[in-house]
Amino acid sequence: MKTLANFLAIGLLVSVLIIELLTLFYPYWSTVKDEDFSLTTCLNCTKLSKNWSLECLARTACFNNNNDSLCDDYTKDYYAGVIYTYIQTACIFTTIFLLEKIIIITAKKDIGNPFIIPITLFINLVLQILAIILWWGYSGVSSNNGNVEANVGPKIGIFLAVWTSFVNFIILYFYCKQGYFEDIQILEFSKKLWGFSPKIWMILSLTLLLLGLCLIIASMSTNNWVKLKNTHGGLVRCKNCDEVLWLSWECLSGTECEINTDSSNCEIYTKLASSGKTYLILSSFSIILIIFSIQAGLSRLISRKYGIEKLNIAYLAFGTIFQFISTIVWASISKAKVSSDCKDDICGDLGIFLAISSNFFILPGAFLFIISNLHETYTSIIKADNDSSEDNKFINTHHSPRSGGEISHDTKELKPNTPITPYRERGLLGPNDKEIEDNGVNKDS
């Protein structure tokens, strides 16, 4: 892809990302009996605090069982909003993933398998279309007997699906027309690190990072984050703080604070609602950034230098910081005491211990990752450049180790369809060899 096409693709992807975020936070998605709702929250429900959501209304209406129609309407609208939110979040991840790949191409770096972009474009489009179809299907808007009416939000969702189709087609067209021929940077580690090859340390690093990710996901999923009086709850919900089981902290906060803003329960529920949301947001960022950095680590295991080295390190550094901060922020906002013999009003449970434990894997994993990346290597860059107006050319760029040395650029024309032989067979010598024989290419090749 040429530079102008790259910047156009980046601009189009940014526009898609902005609209995706808009759909998640747009306030008017549906109307149920003159009450307006976003994807999950009620905007103007009578006699309700602003913290009340569709989940609160659905659970309460179905528990009271005095109005089957409202129970059905609220439940459908709630499930539709949750499903759309989850799928749209996955769409945002794939859009950011694509954006990173295009930026790497613009910087003329290796993105790994060239088919990753068409595959991700396809997945992104399928998820986008699926999200809006499932919202319409689950919300009951299409049903003649339902009381749920579509507002402006679903129309934005339809526009987003159409716009995403157009953008993905344009990017795929540019990608196929211009062609992507990667600069394959083959790594050969020239020195051992603490007695072992840097690849061994990278394997250990990735193992620690993956274990850390598993602990983060487990902490986000468990329903045992806090012990509260005679009950317990997770990041989002409390088991039996109310007669309605598993009400969210936000629902409980809305109820208690509407009755008495100065009550201790109002303060506790508000703190737990805020701390839970903060942890989920920061940990989600951490997961995405760590996954991005893991791509580079896996590439190094097969001696490929993926992406922009400083950016890969920045991903992991910020991912580690976000996870570390998320644990501290949760404890700071919730005021929960993290101790095995806690007897306070709010005590930390399994979830916070999983969150803390994840840092003991991610921090050393990040350290080994950065050290392994910065360790001196011998790099050989191979450019495959197919131009219809010229004969195919094989360009070998031989780098001496980072400790110094000149860089020589040797070009040797090959006949069309000449196979590119493996690294050693091409005659590329290691960092301790004195020269590259026959301009970097063996005579037999």
- Read off φ and ψ for residue 307, nearest 5 degrees: 65, -155
Q: Which residues in 114-225 belong to E strands, given as ranges? A: 148-150, 183-189
Which pTM was predicted?
0.77
- Which range has highest mean pLDDT (11-25, 140-154, 410-424)? 11-25
Residue 383 pairs in a beta bridge with 183, 395
pLDDT digits (tens, 9 = 90+) for 4-60: 888 899 999 999 999 999 999 998 998 887 788 888 877 766 555 555 778 888 888
Q: Is the pLDDT of residue 355 over 80?
A: yes
Measured CA to CA, the distance from residue 87 to residue 55 in angstroms comes to 18
pLDDT of the residue at 335: 86
Measured CA to CA, the distance from residue 82 to residue 40 in angstroms comes to 7
Task: Please state, rounded to an integer, the average pLDDT across all residues of the chain.
Answer: 78
pLDDT tier at 405, thresholds 50, 70, 90: very low
CATH number of 3-181: 1.20.140
% of the chain beyond a pLDDT of 90: 33
Contact status, residue 374 vs residue 193, Cβ threshold 8 Å: no
Segment 358-375 shows an average pLDDT of 86
Q: Is the pLDDT of residue 420 over 80?
A: no
pLDDT of the residue at 295: 86
pLDDT tier at 380, thresholds 50, 70, 90: low
pLDDT tier at 425, thresholds 50, 70, 90: very low
Among residues 362, 363, 372, the alpha carbon closest in space to that of 209 is found at 362
Strand 408-413 and strand 393-398: the pairing is antiparallel
pLDDT of the residue at 183: 53
Q: Is the pLDDT of residue 185 over 80?
A: no
pLDDT tier at 113, thresholds 50, 70, 90: confident
pLDDT of the residue at 179: 63
Measured CA to CA, the distance from residue 98 to residue 166 in angstroms comes to 15
Q: Is the pLDDT of residue 407 over 50?
A: no
Query: Mean pLDDT lowest for which of 133-137, 352-356, 420-424?
Result: 420-424
pLDDT of the residue at 209: 94
pLDDT digits (tens, 9 = 90+) for 289-348: 999 988 888 877 776 777 788 888 899 999 999 999 999 999 899 888 887 777 767 888
pLDDT tier at 143, thresholds 50, 70, 90: low
Contact status, residue 250 vs residue 173, Cβ threshold 8 Å: no
Among residues 288, 285, 389, the alpha carbon closest in space to that of 329 is found at 285
pLDDT of the residue at 66: 60
Token output for 207: 């193992």
- Beta-carbon contacts of residue 319 (< 8 Å; ≥ 6 apart): 285, 286, 287, 288, 289, 290, 292, 293, 362, 366
pLDDT of the residue at 403: 38
**Burial (Cβ within 10 Å: 0-12, 13-18, ≥19) of residue 16:** buried
What are the boundaries of each domain within the chain? 3-181, 198-374, 377-440
Segment 200-214 shows an average pLDDT of 91
Domain 198-374, CATH among 3.40.50.1820, 1.20.140.150, 3.30.2320.80, 3.30.470.20: 1.20.140.150
Measured CA to CA, the distance from residue 4 to residue 271 in angstroms comes to 49
Residue 425 CB neighbours (<10 A) = 12
Asked if the domains at 3-181 and 198-374 fall in one CATH topology, the answer is yes
Residue appearing with tokens 């109005």: 67
3-state secondary structure 365-380: HHHHHHHHHHCCEEEE
Q: Is the pLDDT of residue 78 over 80?
A: yes
pLDDT of the residue at 325: 95
pLDDT digits (tens, 9 = 90+) for 226-271: 888 778 888 988 888 877 888 888 888 888 887 777 788 888 888 9
Q: Is the pLDDT of residue 127 over 80?
A: yes
Q: Is the pLDDT of residue 110 over 50?
A: yes
Contact status, residue 278 vs residue 86, Cβ threshold 8 Å: no
